[in-house]
Chain A
Amino acid sequence: MREIRYREALREAMLEEMERDESVFLMGEEVGHYQGAYKVSEGLLEKFGERRVIDTPIAEAGFAGVGIGAAMVGLRPIIEFMTWNFSFVAFDQIINNAAKVYPMSAGAIQAPIVFRGPNGAAKQVAAQHSHSSAPFYTNIPGLYVIQPSTPRDAKGLLKSAIRSNNPVVFLEGETLYGVKGEVPDEGEEELIPIGQSRLARSGGDCTIVSWGRPYYTVLAAAEKLAAEGIECEVIDPRTLRPLDTSLMVQSVKKTNRCVVVHEHWPYGGPGAEIVDRLQREAFDYLDAPLERVASLDVPMPYALNLEDTVLPTEERIIDAVKSVSYAE
């Protein structure tokens, strides 16, 4: 297998699906002539032309709605938000239109559409540009919410998202775009099913569930813990709605303890949902209360030292694992 970057994996997914299906198009701010604000769509305009790679004015509600309308009558739009922070002005379109047209029409009209873009904190972009959007969108029946951590998952899941008959919220990460990882060779098509978690690291002492940016912090922390004799098993849910808890439950039955690490505020959201489900689905196997390592409950500050404190740190992860392990 070759190694490519997360952004290249996303680009390949879009390119392959656009080649495969004429009804797929990409629309958003700066996706064409500018080559993408984060260069995810680089080269696609040259390949597919302005008909299928469409630059928009700054009008998220407008072009999100155009995408939904186009999806209702048979196209498969990919709508890029320059960042998910800007999706909030299109919140009504996603929640009231994309997620509602199929149910309100009693299944007569589908909305196969992907909304994608970078989510969460980048670096020092402060309170308005650092939102972790999963808690907002995972609350909505009628949406799929996917947050891939690795290039391989990014590619395989984006391809599945584009082929899905439902609206998909696809959360990427600016700090992940440069991450390299193994992806199947060109010509070897891999579709990763929506709603399947993945075992990222095996270990018998403590289960850690994590995804997105802190996934990498968790893997680093797990190595340090291993050096101290605590072997962590790491599960990446990959899809946050629907949530697949099967591997988590299986793992907790073995380790009897679990820490959930997430980049979003502690009030509700997928982090709390996972903890809720595990305490019900694996109650008899738990030797300690489930713990969560979340973003601190504050709007993101600008100063780098404070931003580093707000996001889940290796130190907090290690402390949490030791706490549920009743280690010193």
Chain B
Amino acid sequence: MGVPLPDKDDLLRQYRMMMVIRRFEEEAARNYAKGKIGGFLHLYIGQEAIAVAAADALADQDYIFQTYRDHGTALARGMSPNAAMAELFGRDTGCSRGLGGSMHYFDAERGFLGGWAIVGGHMALAAGTAFKSKYVGDDRVTICFFGDGSTNIGGFHEAMSLAGLWKLPVVFVCENNQYAMGTPLERTSPLEDLSIKATGYGIAGDRCEGHDVEVVADRIGAAVERARKGQGPTFIEILTYRFRGHSMSDPAKYRSRTELEQRKQRDPITVVRERLLGLGVEESTLDDIDLEVDEEIDAAVRFADESEPAREDVMLSTVLAPEGDA
């Protein structure tokens, strides 16, 4: 499989990024509680390895679609924590200038084509950017994330169906965190293994655990490579777990404390940290990274807090695009 094992430096970089996402979201939760952030806030805590692995598997020109649980994927792709935090605070300096919020991050320059908040609704869009790549013959791959809850809605079916039919260069990544909001998989799906759904669409299926960033990077990397070579789409089910509720308003009473504690034993950040220590990295090196990340996120909160509010003129001038020479 095409992706070489990462060296120590790669792992350190991945560790750092996972820490950025974790600390970013912990601060987001704190500021939500303080009333600095409104609306819905869906945290990615526990799933970070997937975002970081995917970012590593993609090339700069590739396209990314994510659901409303989008902070981690955007940060891993290179969005600055400042722009990400300012968006949560509803500020003009936010990545969507305060018009999108937590669920609608955009970073067009980096090919991050949105956080989308209608379950399954963004999947056909991802087939669409992949369609464009095939139409113009560019070398880009599209990756589309969604949850286990999406696999029962029509949008999933039609996107997979068309992507399979037209052999589009797209990778569908199901982040199966076991719960569609508060409903466990066994009550939403007759299948325990969702990846077999790929067969019905004539596309490649794969399945792996999501707590080990190296494993995930390897598997997504292989799918991206297949897509880039014109071998069609892949549906990968990645088994993961969110340590927080569905959103900030969800105390997650539908699952047991034991289950949560067991899952936390496989915290993707602990897994990388232990591997690095095993490779001879000093504990103090990792602690230094943690401190540096803390400072970066604190600075992002200050930046957001001090930024100008979202602007009415921006809102009014972005309903329709200006017309010009087409």
Residues of A within 8 A of B (CB): 21, 25, 51, 56-57, 59, 61-76, 89, 92-93, 96-97, 101-110, 112, 141-142, 144, 162-166
With CB as the reference atom, state the residue of chain A lying closest to B87: A106
Of the stretches B126-134, B218-226, B256-264, the one at the interface is B126-134
Please tell me which stretch of B2-10, B36-44, B247-255, B315-323 contacts chain A, meaning at least 4 of its Cβ atoms lie within 8 angstroms of it. B315-323
Q: Are A101 and B114 in contact (CB under 8 A)?
A: yes
Among B108, B158, B317, point to the contact of A61 (Cβ < 8 A).
B158
Bound Cα distance A25, B136 (Å): 12
Number of B residues near A (Cβ < 8 Å) is: 46
Give the residues in chain B near A110, CB-CB below 8 Å: 321
Q: Within the complex, what minimum Cβ distance (angstroms) separates A89 from chain B?
A: 8
Q: Is B113 within 8 A of A66, CB to CB? A: no
Do A107 and B123 touch (CB < 8 A)?
A: no
B138 to A, closest residue via Cβ: A73
Q: Please name all residues of chain A whose beta carbon is closer than 8 Å to the beta carbon of B132 when the two chains form the complex.
A: 69-70, 73-75
A103 touches B318 (CB 8 A): yes
User: B162, A70: Cβ atoms under 8 Å?
Assistant: no
> What are 8 inter-chain pairs, A to B, with CB distance below 8 A?
A56-B162, A57-B162, A74-B132, A104-B104, A105-B100, A141-B319, A144-B320, A166-B320
**CA–CA, A110 and B108, complex, Å:** 11
Does chain A have a CB within 8 A of B33? no
Additional A-B contacts beyond A57-B165, A73-B132 (20; CB < 8 A): A57-B162, A61-B155, A62-B162, A66-B124, A68-B124, A69-B127, A69-B131, A70-B135, A74-B136, A92-B155, A93-B121, A97-B122, A103-B318, A104-B114, A105-B99, A105-B108, A106-B98, A142-B320, A163-B326, A165-B323
Chain B residues whose CB sits within 8 angstroms of the CB of A144 once the complex forms: 320
Residue pair B319, A65 in contact (C-beta under 8 Å): no
Residues 153-174 of B contacting A (Cβ, < 8 Å):
154-155, 157-159, 161-162, 165
Task: Kindly provide the distance from the CB of B101 to the nearest chain A CB, expressed in whole angstroms.
Answer: 9
Given contacts A66-B131, A75-B135, A76-B326, contact A106 B124 (CB under 8 A): no
Whether B113 lies near A106 (C-beta < 8 A) is no
**B291-326 interface code vs A (CB 8 A; 1 in, 0 out):** 000000000000000000000001101111111101
Output the least CB separation between B134 and chain A (Å): 9
Known: A56-B162, A66-B124, A75-B132. A165 touches B322 (CB 8 A): yes
CB-based nearest A residue for B314: A106
Point out residues on B near A: beta carbons under 8 Å: 63, 96-100, 104, 106, 108, 113-114, 116, 118, 121-132, 135-136, 154-155, 157-159, 161-162, 165, 314-315, 317-324, 326
**Most chain A CB within a 10 A radius of its CB, from B125, B154, B162:** B125
- Contact between A107 and B317, CB atoms less than 8 A apart: yes
A164 touches B113 (CB 8 A): no
In angstroms, Cα B117 to Cα A96, docked, is 9
Instruction: Identify A73's interface contact among B63, B99, B157, B165, CB under 8 A.
Output: B63
Asked whether, in the complex, the Cβ of B162 is within 8 Å of the Cβ of A59, the reply is yes
Q: Which residue of A lies closest to B106 (CB)?
A: A105
* A68 CA to B122 CA, complexed, in Å: 10
List A contacts of B154 (CB < 8 A).
61, 89
Cα A56 to Cα B121 in complex, Å, equals 18
> Could you tell me the distance in whole angstroms from the C-beta of A242 to the nearest C-beta in chain B?
9
Name the residue of chain B whose CB is nearest to the CB of A69: B128
- Cβ contact within 8 Å between B126 and A69: yes
The distance from the CB of A10 to the nearest CB of chain B, in whole angstroms, is 18
B132 to chain A, nearest CB (A): 4
Cβ-defined contact, A106 with B128, below 8 A: no
Give Cα A66 to B100, complex, Å: 22
Instruction: Give the contacting residue for A59; candidates B99, B161, B324; CB below 8 A.
Output: B161
In the complex, chain B residues whose CB is within 8 Å of the CB of A73: 63, 113, 128-129, 132
Residues in chain B near residue A103, CB distance under 8 A: 99, 315, 318-319
Q: Would you call B118 and A112 a contact (CB within 8 A)?
A: no
Return the contact of A112 from the options B124, B129, B326 (Cβ within 8 A).
Answer: B326
CA distance A21 to B319 in the complex (A): 25
Contacts of A72 in B (CB 8 A): 113, 125, 128-129
The reply to whether B125 and A68 form a contact with Cβ atoms under 8 Å apart is yes
Nearest Cβ distance between residue A24 and chain B, in whole angstroms? 9
Q: Which residue of A lies closest to B101 (CB)?
A: A104
CA distance A61 to B159 in the complex (A): 9
Query: When chains A and B are docked, how far (Å) is the Cα of A163 from the Cα of B323?
Result: 9
